[in-house]
Structures are given as structure tokens and as C-alpha cells.
Amino acid sequence: MARRAVVLVSGGLDSATTLALAIRQGFEAYALTVDYGQRHRIELERARELAAALGAAVHRVARVDLGSFGGSALTDPGIEVPRRDLDGPPGEGIPPTYVPARNTVLLAVALAWAEVLGAEDLFVGVNAVDFSGYPDCRPAFLEAFERLAHLATRAGVEGRARFRVHAPLLAMSKAEIVRLAVDLAVEVGRTVSCYDPSTAGQPCGRCDACVLRAKGFREAGIPDPALPSSGPI
């Protein structure tokens, strides 16, 4: 029987690639999308489509009420998503698109499901190279979560599970992720990275996530099929 893994899937390029990789590695994938009140609601729909297309065994959307806390441009319409030019300088420090404690919450919910499923492998598409400087995308955070998972659960304490947080994209550049996605036959045109897309899913082109994505595709020498004009940038 294939080993089960819970894979966090947001509808973006990185998590779709992570899901494809987990399945390629032989895991039976339980795809988990967390609806935390993100304003880019199209993510949830794309996550469902991608999970089905990639062959996840199950896809589930779990709602977690973070939006009502506010404090992030991704959940609070009163906070603007910063825009910049493709070759403009990145913002300084941790940007307002940081969602307080988001990855802690995401991994906690993934852990809860994993324990019920008898899975000990969690996959998350975080990246610490071409990323926005979020604290909860760094190796030290992931290691601390793994340690916590062991102490927090019946399965860990009873020695029946040794939880592992897999972050296979952690040390990759965005260009490497783009190439890997294409190699794994991820429908990259269906992934949505933008922090503030149109309701139809059209990317804004100027938020941090759009700029990182565009640079990745450019560096990989591959046109981004999610863009209207799919020629090279």
C-alpha cells in the first residue's frame, strides 16, 4: 500500500509542483487547501482542479477563520498589496502580504488530518530563495514544526509516527521550480500565483508574487501560459 501524505495545496505554482512531486515519489496524496479568508478566492477553485488533474487521492478544503483577524494585505481589503515593476527593487523587510502565523496554522491543520489518516509525511511548497522574506518559509521554522509535531500528537508520543515536513522546493530558485513543474507535467497555466487577481483569475502582473513568477519563467526560458500573451517576456 502506498504511504499516505498530506500535501498543502494553495492553487499556486509551488504547491502544485510539490503535489506532483509527492505523487511522483509514490505517496498517496491527501491534498489539503486551507480557506483562511484569502482575498484571492480563485486559489481555492484552482487548487481543486489541480489536485484532481495531478491525481491526488482526496482533496479537501478546510476553513480556518484567520481573515477576521486582519493584519495582512492578503486577508484585509483595507491593506494594499504592494506593486512593483518587474525589474524594480524588492520591498524591504517582511511585506504586508505576510499573513500572521499562516504557515503555523496551515501545518497544524495538516498535522491534524495526517494523524487521523495515519500519515506521517507532510508536504509544503515553501521556498526560501526567490521568496518574499516570510519568516515561516525558512528551514529553522520547518525544523521547529517537526519537533513540535512529534510532541503534540498521540502518534508521535506513542512512537507510531515520526512526522516529517517535506519542503522539496525550499532551496530551489523560481526558475528551477518552473522547469520542474513543466517536467512533472503540471498544468502551470492553471496555477495562480498572484496576490490580487481578477475574479476570473487574471494576474495583476505587479505584485511580489507576479514579479517573482515572471522572473522565474523568464530565467527558465519558458513562456508563462497563465499570461494572455504567452510569448517570452
Q: Which is nearer to a second copy, 144 or 222 (CB)?
A: 144
| Per-residue b or e along 113-131, where b marks 16 or more CB atoms closer than 10 Å to that residue's CB | bbbeeebbbbbbbbbbebb
Contact between 113 and a second copy (CB under 8 A)? yes
Q: Which stretch binds a second copy (CB under 8 A): 9-17, 83-91, 103-111, 203-211?
A: 103-111
What's the distance, CA 218 to chain centroid? 21
6 and 123 in contact (C-beta within 8 Å)? yes
Q: Which is nearer to a second copy, 149 or 178 (CB)?
A: 149
Binding to a second copy, residues 171-210 (CB under 8 A): none
Residue linked to cell 497544524: 108
Angle, vertex CA 58, rays to CA 74 and CA 136, nearest 5: 35
Q: Which is nearer to a second copy, 145 or 217 (CB)?
A: 145
Contact between 112 and a second copy (CB under 8 A)? yes
Least distance CB 110 / a second copy (angstroms): 9
Contact between 104 and a second copy (CB under 8 A)? yes
Pick one of 5, 19, 54, 111: the residue that binds a second copy (CB under 8 A).
111
Least distance CB 95 / a second copy (angstroms): 10
Contact between 135 and a second copy (CB under 8 A)? yes
25 and 15 in contact (C-beta within 8 Å)? no
66: CB partners within 8 A, 6+ apart = 36, 37, 75, 99, 100, 102, 105
Residues 49-78: x where in contact with a second copy by CB under 8 A, - otherwise, as a string: -----------x-xxxxx-xxxx-------
Q: How far apart are CA 6 and CA 124, in angstroms?
A: 9
Helix (H) or strand (E) holding 54: helix 42-54
Site size toward a second copy (CB under 8 A) is 45
Residue ranges in contact with a second copy by CB under 8 A = 60, 62-66, 68-71, 93-94, 98-105, 107-109, 111-113, 115-116, 135-136, 138, 140-141, 144-145, 147-149, 151-154, 156-158
